[in-house]
Chains A and B, each alone.
Chain A
C-alpha cells in the first residue's frame, strides 16, 4: 500500500502499480517513478547526512547536487533522482554492512 509520504501526486495517476522494498518493507510505486519519487511517496527521507543529524531527501533533482544517492541490498548505489524504480528493487536508506 502507499502510505503518506513527503510527496503529493498531482497528475499521471493511471500508470501500472509495481512493488519494491524499502529497508525490507514492501512498498508500492507507479511505473515511471524515479527511485526518489517512489521512496518519498511513502517516506520522508532518502538517507541520513554523514556530517550532521538531519535526514536528507534530495535537493536539485537534476543530477548536479548528488544529495540523493541511496543504496540497494545488492548492486550499485543509485542517484535516486535519475534512476527509475523497478519491480522488486530492494532499496536502503543506509549502506548495507558489506558495502565498501
Chain B
C-alpha cells in the first residue's frame, strides 16, 4: 500500500454537492482532493455518458440541462487548471484514523485528511415486492442510468412501480425516448398526494413541471395501486400482478419492472467515520446528525442527499455550506451563507411536502407473505426475518446476525429499511427502537490482493 501525502481537505463524491464543495474550497485558495466512483464527475442525476456519445445535455437532462452543463464545466475547468486533484473510478472502502482507504484500478491507497466532506449521495429506496429477486427487476435509478449513460431501455415492455418524483420523471423520460412503457403504478392514492400540496407549493415551477411530466404518461399512470407480485419464469420477469385503486385485479405482461420510493441516503462512510445518527420520522430512515451547515464533528462534514434528502438543487447548496463551514473551522474567511440557508429552508419545506404526498409504503412491507424474499443478495425471506425476531428479539443487528439479512453483497442497502419495519412489527415496537444495521468495512467489495500489492 502506498501513502499519499496530499491536500488536507478531501471530498468524497463528485455529484452536485461534491462539485460545489470543491469549487468553494478552491475559491478560498485551497487545493481539495476529490474521490469519486464515476469515470467522469457529475454524480448520478447529472451522470455523463462515456466519451463518443453524442446526445446533448438538453436531450439527457431536459429542464435541468443548464445546471448539469454548469456543474460539468466548472469541475472540468478546476481539474484542468490543476486546482484540485481528482481520483476518478475510485471507491472509499474504509476509514481509519483520518485516513481513507481508496480502491482504484491500481489497488488500495491511503489518503489522509484533516477535514473530510462526505457527499456520498443516495440510492433508490426500495421495498420488497414478492418476486423482486427475478432477472429484469431494477431500481428506477437503474432505468434512468441505462437511458442516460448507455442510451438503452432495460426491457422491451416496461412497468414502473413505486412513488415519488422519480417515478414520474423516469416514466416520462422512457416514453419520450421511445421505450414501451406499459404502466406506471403509484402506491400513493390521489387523496394522499393532495395532502402534500402545501409543501410542494414551496417550489411552484418544479411542481408544474412534475404535473406536465405526469400528463405525458397519460393513461399509463395509476394512483393508489396495490402491488401484489412480480411474475417470472426461468428467464426473468413476465408480468406484474396488481390491484387498481378500485380493488380490481390486474395482470400486466412485461419483461422489466423498475421500482423506487424516493431515495435512501447513502450513509455507509458517515457511519464508518463515527457520525451519530438520528431516526428521521419524515423519511423513516436513520440519517447522520449534523448542524445546519453540515458539520458532523471530528473534522467531518456532510452534504447532499447522503445526509438530507433535498435533491440535486439542495445538494448544490449543501455542498457550498459544508465547504464554508470547513473553511471557517480552518480559520479561512468563509463566504456568506445566509442566502443559501434561506434557500435550503424552502427546499426542506418542499421535501416535506413530497414525503407526505408520496409516502414509503410501510403497510406493503408488513403485508409481505413469509415466503417473499426480503434480502435479494442471499434470498432471505420475510419469514426468516420474522422468525429471527421471535428467537433473538427486536434488535436490528441481532436479526442481521441470525437471518443474514443485510450481510450480503449490498450490505443491507436495499433490504435494511423494509427489514427494520418487519422487525418492529414482529416485536411490537416502533422502527426507531429497533436500531439500524451497523455498517462494516469494506464499503465496497475489495479483493484481498488490492490490499497486498506492495506487501
Given the known interface contacts A6-B236, A32-B50, the answer about A37 and B150 at a Cβ–Cβ threshold of 8 Å is: yes
**Complex: chain A residue closest to B123, CB-CB:** A64
Which residues of A18-32 have CB atoms within 8 Å of chain B's CB atoms?
A: 31-32
Q: Which of B89, B153, B410 contacts A66 (CB 8 A)?
A: B410
Contact: A10 with B236, CB < 8 Å?
no
A42-62 to B contact mask, C-beta < 8 Å, 1/0: 001100011111111111111
Judging by beta carbons under 8 Å apart, are A8 and B156 in contact? yes
Closest chain-B Cβ to A21's Cβ sits at a distance in Å of 21
Contact (Cβ within 8 A) A8 B155 = yes
Q: Which of B150, B178, B232 has the most CB of A within 10 A?
A: B150
Please report the C-alpha to C-alpha distance between residue A12 and residue B152 in the assembled complex, in whole angstroms.
Answer: 9
Determine whether the beta carbon of B447 is less than 8 Å from that of A11. no
- A1 interface residue (CB < 8 Å to B): no
Given contacts A59-B142, A62-B123, contact A67 B154 (CB under 8 A): no
Contacts of A60 in B (CB 8 A): 123-124, 138-139, 141-142, 414
B44 touches A12 (CB 8 A): no
Contact with A10, one of B44, B49, B153, B256 (Cβ below 8 angstroms): B153
A84 to B447, CA, bound (A): 19
Q: Classify the secondary structure of B's interface with A.
A: loop
A61-B135 in contact given A11-B55, A12-B49, A82-B37 (Cβ < 8 Å):
no
Chain B residue contacts of A76, Cβ below 8 A: 447
Contact assessment for B410 and A64 in the assembled complex, using a CB-CB cutoff below 8 Å: yes
A12: min CB distance to chain B, Å: 4
- Contact check, A55 vs B44: say whether CB atoms are below 8 A apart: no
Chain B residues, CB < 8 A from A13:
151
Q: Which of B19-27, B345-353, B371-379 interfaces with chain A?
A: B371-379
B134 within 8 A of A: yes
Chain B CB within 8 A of A14 CB: yes
Interface residue? B133 (CB, 8 A): yes
Residues B147 and A84 in contact, CB atoms below 8 Å apart = no
Q: Does B342 contact A (CB under 8 A)?
A: no
Chain A residues with Cβ under 8 A from B51's Cβ?
32
A34 CB within 8 Å of chain B: yes
> B141 is contacted by which of A7, A50, A55, A62 (Cβ under 8 Å)?
A62
Task: List, in ascending order, chain A residues with CB within 8 A of B177's CB.
Answer: 10-11
Asked whether B305 is an interface residue with its Cβ less than 8 Å from the other chain, the reply is no
Interface string of B206-243 (1 = CB under 8 A from A): 00000000000000000000000000101110000000
Q: A7-B153, A44-B236 are in contact. Are A51 and B266 (CB under 8 A)?
A: no
**Chain A interface: which size bin?**
35 or more
Contact A37 B152 (CB under 8 A): yes
> B44 contacts A62, CB within 8 Å?
yes
What's the Cα separation between A92 and B141 when bound, in Å? 26
Tell me whether A95 is interfacial, beta carbon within 8 Å.
Answer: no
Instruction: Choose one: B89, B133, B146, B256; the contact of A52 (CB below 8 Å).
Output: B133
> How far apart are the CA atoms of A98 and B138 in the complex, in Å?
31
User: A15–B52 contact, CB under 8 A?
Assistant: yes
A63-B37, A67-B410, A82-B37 known; A54 and B152 CB under 8 Å?
no
Q: Which of these, A6, A49, A53, contacts B255 with CB under 8 Å? A: A6
A48 CB to closest chain B CB (Å) equals 10
The reply to whether B155 and A6 contact each other, CB–CB distance below 8 Å, is: yes
Residue on B with the closest CB to A77? B447
Query: Interface digits, B101-145 against A, CB 8 Å rule (1 contact, 0 not)?
Result: 000000000000000000000011000000001111111011001
Within 8 A of A (CB), among B417-445: 444-445
Q: B44-66: which have CB < 8 Å to A?
A: 44, 49-55, 59
Q: Which residues of A contact B135 (CB under 8 A)?
A: 6, 44-45, 54-57
Residues of B within 8 A of A33 (CB): 150
> Residue B86 at the A interface, CB < 8 A?
no
Decide if B409 is an interface residue (CB 8 Å cutoff). Answer: yes
Given A32-B52, A65-B414, also A10-B179 (CB < 8 A) = yes
B445: A residues at CB distance < 8 A: 66, 69
Residues from chain A with Cβ under 8 Å of B400 in the complex: none
Least CB distance from A86 to B in Å reads: 12
- Indicate whether B31 reaches chain A with its CB closer than 8 angstroms: no
- Of the A-B pairs whose beta carbons lie under 8 Å apart in the complex, a sample of 17, sorted by A's number, is A6-B154, A7-B153, A7-B154, A8-B155, A12-B49, A15-B52, A31-B52, A32-B49, A32-B51, A33-B150, A50-B378, A52-B379, A57-B136, A64-B266, A65-B377, A67-B376, A77-B447
Q: What are the nearest 10 A-B pairs in CB distance?
A: A11-B151, A66-B409, A12-B151, A61-B142, A57-B135, A51-B379, A32-B50, A52-B379, A8-B153, A61-B145
* A residues at B contact (CB < 8 Å): 6-15, 31-34, 37, 40-41, 44-45, 49-67, 69, 76-77, 81-82, 84
